[in-house]
Structure 1
Amino acid sequence: MGKRKELKDNDVQMGGTDPRVDSDESDEDMDIVNVDFEWFDPQPIDFHGLKILLRQLFESDAQLFDMSAVADMILAQPLLGSTVKVDGNESDPYAFLTVLNLQEHKEKPVIKDLIAYLQRKASANSSLAPLAQLLSQTPVPPIGLILTERLINMPPEVVPPMYTMLMEEIAWAVQDKEPYTFSHYLLLSKTYEEVESKLDMEDSRPQKKKKKSGGKAEKFYFHPEDEVLEKHARCFGSIEYTHTHDDGHSDSKRAFQELGIRTKGSLMLFDADKLDGAINEMKEYVKASV
């Protein structure tokens, strides 16, 4: 059984709105339900919960990969990475963060698929040229692929402790001569753009405001901390998913009253010695935003 992680004095252990409460419902006249979050090592009981969060992270392209194999890899390194739970050790994780060594696992089919996918996507965006070059090397450099996801209304305060513990665990693993000495870190995440609702386009009611066409669409972050982390990245950029949804899909993900959203993948490449500074600034940002 995984050991419950102990938070350090400078970490935050907090209550928050229950992430199981639907965001639409929580906006109405409902009582706030305070919950306590607990951090744990990844353990076998988390297999299905991790798969759900991984599919959420990879969005429509999750079908391209063996997510069971990815979950197994996360569970195979139980002393590296964290899950966040609400109802104790036996419950499903509501958030997780871990890192996988792309070089160490380069011969595993799912990592081969991931490297090819990431290299292809990076090559399609000039902003990600340094990443495309790294991933095209043979063998691929020791890049640590950071995977992290959480339920949509989990508070960002759960994130800094996970990063703090991950960096400590990597340092301990390196001391023990384990293969976690990275040249770079690659963070996979998601962003979205607001798009005009197809339903509203078909609605002739004059009071509906139309989104102005032209110009570059504004980027929004599913993970608010990504906006800070980007500032420390060697390169970053958006990627288009291979499997795209039809035009009506954005209406099923309407984040605001009049606009739908279109999701994109996000990649951030960090030099290994820059990630600590990025995490420290991210901690201050999250603390200030509470």
Structure 2
Amino acid sequence: MDDNLLRKEFLQSWKRENHIGYQKIDYFCTDFSVYFQSCMKLKVCSVNTIVKIHSLFFSRGKKEVNVEFEAHSISDNDYDGIKKLLQQLFLKAPVNTAELTDILIQQNHIGSVIKQAEVQEESDDEEEEEDEVFGFISLLNLTERKGTQCAEQIKELILSLCEKNCDQSMVEQLDKLLNDTTKPVGFLLNERFINVPPQIALPMHQQLQKELAETQRTNKPCGKCYYYLLISKTFTETAKRSSKKRGESTQQKEELMFANAEEEFFYEKALLKFSYSVQEESDTCLGGRWSFDDVPMKPLRTIMLIPSDRMNAIMDKLKEYLSV
């Protein structure tokens, strides 16, 4: 199969699987450039084989390297890894990721990091890589943290982007919800490398919900939240997006592709949602300046505000589609 035909088959299969569901997918990723290149290195022509690749799609010839992941409590040693993932999310946005990372580490009674499971008989050269953070999940209570630079910057960023991409009624509604001190808003952070399997999202979210319930019971920081704010890494076809009116395309679920596959379920339950382009901020390798069959892909960030009473329904969806 030549490269052009493989590209076409890969894109069509990816889009088809994305909209049908995830029960048949063992590995899911939306970064076409990196993912496609890795598949080409493996000399794989079957898309059915491509989507079964489990781990870090590191390849040595045609050999798959399977990597097991496990969750740990957040610690001081995770600072660099968490900050790197936050920078990947915010890109050039004016958010103090250093302060945000410090807060997440300080409130380590909630949240987890994803690391490679310990391997027996590792060499000394590999010891430095043992603590590498492949992903993390946590929550910043924007209401409790009012006055901190990062919390204020996040709210200002969200509102300014809403003003640029949505109608005035949504801007006013979002502003009211973000600044209502009687109904705290939690900024849900769920970041991982694109090559970590989505199945890990289920236990991570389950554990976070347990921890949040415990903090509420014991009156620790990050207690009850009435809403969850989520910024999701998404992609869309530029051609379709440009044909829509302002604000209209962001509401079309079928046009969005999610870097974290499970976040589509959050999108479905969101009270408010909109997307904005990060094409000019993204790294050219990871950011999405590529095209397949003359259909250019555009990297976005999708902002969602989800009522906390809808989390049970979201968790049920995660169990249905991501249970191993």
Q: Verify same fold: TM over 0.5.
A: yes
Give the one of 212, 226, 229 matched to 2:266: 229
Q: What TM-score comes out, normalization by structure 1 length?
A: 0.76
Alpha-carbon distance change, 120 to 33 in structure 1, aligned in 2, over 3 angstroms: same
Deviation at 1:26, TM superposition (A): 3.8
Counterpart residue number, 2:31: none
Deviation at 1:50, TM superposition (A): 0.6
Counterpart residue number, 1:171: 213
| CA RMSD across the alignment | 3.1
Deviation at 1:245, TM superposition (A): 4.5
Within-5 A mapping of 1:23-102 = 23=35, 24-27=37-40, 28-29=42-43, 30-61=62-93, 64-88=94-118, 90-102=130-142
Secondary structure (helix, strand or coil) at the match of 1:275 reads helix
Secondary structure (helix, strand or coil) at the match of 1:277 reads helix
Report if aligned partners of 2:116, 2:130 keep a CA contact under 8 Å in 1.
no
Report if aligned partners of 2:137, 2:190 keep a CA contact under 8 Å in 1.
yes
1:17-68 per-position Cα deviation (integer Å, ceiling 9, x unaligned): 9xxxx6322442322211111101111111001111111111342xx12111
Deviation at 1:244, TM superposition (A): 3.0
Deviation at 1:72, TM superposition (A): 0.6
Secondary structure (helix, strand or coil) at the match of 1:74 reads helix
Give the one of 281, 284, 289 matched to 2:320: 284
Alpha-carbon distance change, 140 to 117 in structure 1, aligned in 2, over 3 angstroms: farther
User: Is 1:269 aligned to 2:305, yes or no?
Assistant: yes
Alpha-carbon distance change, 16 to 36 in structure 1, aligned in 2, over 3 angstroms: farther
Counterparts of 1:128 and 1:266, CA distance in 2: 15
1:101-133 per-position Cα deviation (integer Å, ceiling 9, x unaligned): 001111111211111111222333238543233
Letter in 1 for 2:65: V
Query: Where does the alignment leave 5 or more consecutive residues of structure 2 unmatched?
Result: 1-25, 29-33, 44-61, 119-128
Report if aligned partners of 1:146, 1:187 keep a CA contact under 8 Å in 2.
yes
Deviation at 1:82, TM superposition (A): 1.0
Alpha-carbon distance change, 244 to 140 in structure 1, aligned in 2, over 3 angstroms: farther
Counterpart residue number, 2:174: 131
Letter in 1 for 2:158: L
Query: Where does the alignment leave 5 or more consecutive residues of structure 1 unmatched?
Result: 1-14, 197-210
Alpha-carbon distance change, 212 to 282 in structure 1, aligned in 2, over 3 angstroms: closer
Deviation at 1:255, TM superposition (A): 6.6
1:232-273 per-position Cα deviation (integer Å, ceiling 9, x unaligned): 1222221345x8359x88986437475543212111111111
Report if aligned partners of 1:123, 1:132 keep a CA contact under 8 Å in 2.
no
Secondary structure (helix, strand or coil) at the match of 1:34 reads coil
Counterparts of 2:150 and 2:73, CA distance in 1: 23
Letter in 1 for 2:82: L
User: Is 1:110 aligned to 2:145, yes or no?
Assistant: no
Deviation at 1:140, TM superposition (A): 7.9
Report if aligned partners of 1:229, 1:279 keep a CA contact under 8 Å in 2.
no
Counterparts of 1:32 and 1:249, CA distance in 2: 23
Report if aligned partners of 1:128, 1:237 keep a CA contact under 8 Å in 2.
no
Give the one of 256, 265, 283 matched to 1:219: 256
Counterparts of 1:79 and 1:187, CA distance in 2: 20
More helix, by proportion: 2
Letter in 2 for 1:224: A
Alpha-carbon distance change, 256 to 32 in structure 1, aligned in 2, over 3 angstroms: farther
Deviation at 1:230, TM superposition (A): 1.5
